[in-house]
Structure 1
């Protein structure tokens, strides 16, 4: 039995599937939009709306961080051999998780609520800049199979989202 070579259409359809780095960048973009939505609702004093968005932010970040820590970071650690960068990313995750826990346990009309969400936003923006500006570039240059990693990450993400539902 002979194997057919990949056609342009099959190669293109494979290409349209995001790889592991693309998936993480999509998550970053989604959370950035949610933070902007939160800011608009906070300005309107829409407590119920901002709490709903903040909860979504916390869920998205929690799942994202867990996928990175369980799947992406260990693979990246092996592929790029930059423990300092990955250690720093994990410490940043721990701090973000602490803020997420605080926000999740607060009332939306608490005087510190908006401030904590704003600090989380700034913290995440800093973390994202480092990942996208440094780590992801190094990972893309490595021999890591980002397509296979994306499959593992998507399966885990679906599990975690199902557990939240």
Structure 2
């Protein structure tokens, strides 16, 4: 298999990104991984891609829930976007638990990955069109949030190793 994707989960340039740019970069990376999964021909390739997808999504969700969402909620006195996103994360994590660390076993495995992909795409669309748009127009210090998130991401990835 020729692996052309960036195999590092953490790109050091993220330490210089604002929070929204960092989260969008995560979204793009996961989307690319899902596209690779759809083209994967071997179970071993699928297993590797799923491991990377699950790691990316788990760390991303934790960053949002610990740092970005609380800041956004406080700045907007939000009572809907953050709770909805948090519920979506819980559903996403349930799907991750069903596929992470197990062997690809045919149709059910592929179906769960497909549902996870569709679910993540829906979540990303809402987040980018609503939450990120609002975050850019308020008093949030997105650079400071981005730095906090980058630092926390390093810690979370170290814990996963």
Q: TM above 0.5, one fold? A: yes
Q: 1:148 pairs with 121, 128, 144, which one?
A: 144
CA RMSD across the alignment: 1.2
Deviation by residue 1:80-139 (Cα, 9 ceiling, x = unmatched):
222211100000000000000001153212431000000000000000000000000001
For structure 1, the 5+ residue unaligned runs are: 1-15
Partner residue of 1:92? 88
SS at match of 1:112: helix
Partner residue of 2:21? 22
Partner residue of 1:31? 30
**Structure 2 Cα separation of the partners of residues 139 and 83 of structure 1:** 15
**Structure 1 Cα separation of the partners of residues 39 and 155 of structure 2:** 31
Runs of 4+ aligned structure 1 residues displaced above 6 Å come to none
For structure 2, the 5+ residue unaligned runs are: 1-14
Relative to the length of structure 1, the TM-score reads 0.86
Q: 2:117 pairs with 113, 116, 121, which one?
A: 121
CA contact (8 A) 1:106 1:113 kept: no
**Structure 2 Cα separation of the partners of residues 86 and 62 of structure 1:** 17
Partner residue of 2:52? 56
CA contact (8 A) 2:16 2:147 kept: no
1:72-87 superposed matches below 5 A? 72-87=68-83
| Larger Rg, first or second structure (1 or 2) | 1
Is residue 104 of structure 1 aligned with residue 100 of structure 2? yes
Relative to the length of structure 2, the TM-score reads 0.88
